[in-house]
Amino acid sequence: MTQCQLCEHITKGQHVLHKGEKVVSMLADQPAITGHLITAPIDHAPIAEQISDDVLGELFVQANKLSAELFEKLGAQGTTILLQNGLAAGQSINHTLVNVIPRAEGDGLNLEWQPKQITGEEMTAIENLLREEIIAINKEPAQKKEEKKEEKKEAKEEKKEISPEEDYMIRQLERIP
């Protein structure tokens, strides 16, 4: 199996500025502008949905740190932090990465778009289509935490219900000779 281009750069250490346990930061191989940096998960993942929340969070924490360095070291007037997720979004490498691009007034890099005009009905339809699912997605972690708390509580209650005979045997096992 052939590795992706980014995986090869990570393995060889090409242009790598920092390599952590889960995330790597490096110079962009084909920069949009001088100083263009990227941060990516070390483990291969073609799209962001294949990355765990903690690694995805670490990607953006690292992107923020890279952004600060571009302001400090290169005198950037701004930065564009960009995740292109999928071919239709302009992703050109089959590996998720976050671009951190230093910006200056008049740098010639155009990432602006013309806003589309949609009707109130279209906006409401989209809102209704997505709202329930997004609410459910965001409740899942909280529900899982509650279930775990309940399981721990039940386990503690079960421990308390030890018969005197079982308690005697446990004390004998824990007894120090």
Q: How many domains does the chain have?
A: 2
119 is written with which tokens?
Answer: 């009707």
Is 113 inside a domain boundary? no
Q: Looking at the structure, do residues 81 and 168 belong to the same domain, yes or no? A: no
Give the tens place of pLDDT for each residue, 10-30: 989 889 999 999 999 999 999
Give pTM, 2 decimals. Answer: 0.73
Q: Looking at the structure, do residues 99 and 124 belong to the same domain, yes or no? A: no
Q: Looking at the structure, do residues 98 and 12 belong to the same domain, yes or no? A: yes
With cut-offs at 50, 70 and 90, classify the pLDDT of residue 138. Answer: confident
Q: Looking at the structure, do residues 23 and 98 belong to the same domain, yes or no? A: yes
Q: Looking at the structure, do residues 96 and 142 belong to the same domain, yes or no? A: no
With cut-offs at 50, 70 and 90, classify the pLDDT of residue 1. Answer: very low
| CA distances from residue 138 to 20, 52, 133, 171 in whole angstroms, order as listed | 28, 15, 9, 45
- The region of weakest confidence among 40-49, 72-81, 91-100, 136-145 is 136-145
